[in-house]
Amino acid sequence: MQSFIQSSDAILRQRGYRLTPQRHMILRVIQEADAHLSIDQIMERVQQQNPYVSLSTVYRTLDLLKSVDLIHESHLPGEQPMYETVDGHAHHHLICRRCRVTFHLDQSLLGNLNEQLQKQYQFHGLSLGLVAAGYCNTCWDSIQQEEQKS
């Protein structure tokens, strides 16, 4: 955990930013969660530590942390974005639309799509993140049972 914060501080300094107490707190909240957090969840956890941190500070900090690739934002259409720390690899998720269980997918599933996109479209420094949504077995079974009852 401490090494992540130290490396984050180095990345921010390299890009001309400081790791302010608010940025440190928000980054630590996301890192310690070891899961995907919504803005509301981040705000709640941050305000438990410091009730004077505003929602606009959280939004600005999330934008900055995304721009320097310290956190990743994923979302489904019509859903609130979810945040987690970046582990340096392509980032793919499988999310249940009902219970929101989230699985990290093996990056090898998409083969060398990243390289193909860079070569075919002449893009550089490309990051790739796939979000696939459906229903887990438990939720799918519940949906089927609900449909049979109606």
Burial 25-50 (b: 16+ CB within 10 A, else e): bbbbbbbeeeebbebebbbebbeeee
* All structural domains of the chain: 1-80 (1.10.10.10), 89-150 (3.30.1490.190)
Amino acid identity, position 148: Q
What pLDDT is stored for residue 74 in this prediction?
81
The binding site for Zn(2+) consists of 96, 99, 136, 139
Amino acid identity, position 95: I
Instruction: Look up residue 49 and give its two tokens.
Output: 């530590």
Tell me the per-residue pLDDT of 34-55, one tens digit each, with 9 for 90 and over. Answer: 778 999 999 999 999 999 999 9
What pLDDT is stored for residue 5 in this prediction?
83
pTM equals: 0.70
The binding site consists of 96, 99, 136, 139
Residues near 13 by Cβ (< 8 Å), separated by ≥ 6?
19
Tell me the per-residue pLDDT of 108-147, one tens digit each, with 9 for 90 and over. Answer: 787 888 788 888 998 887 777 778 889 999 999 999 999 9
Given a cut of 60, whether residue 97 has pLDDT beyond it is yes
Please give the backbone phi and psi of residue 35, each rounded to the nearest 5 degrees, phi first.
-160, 180
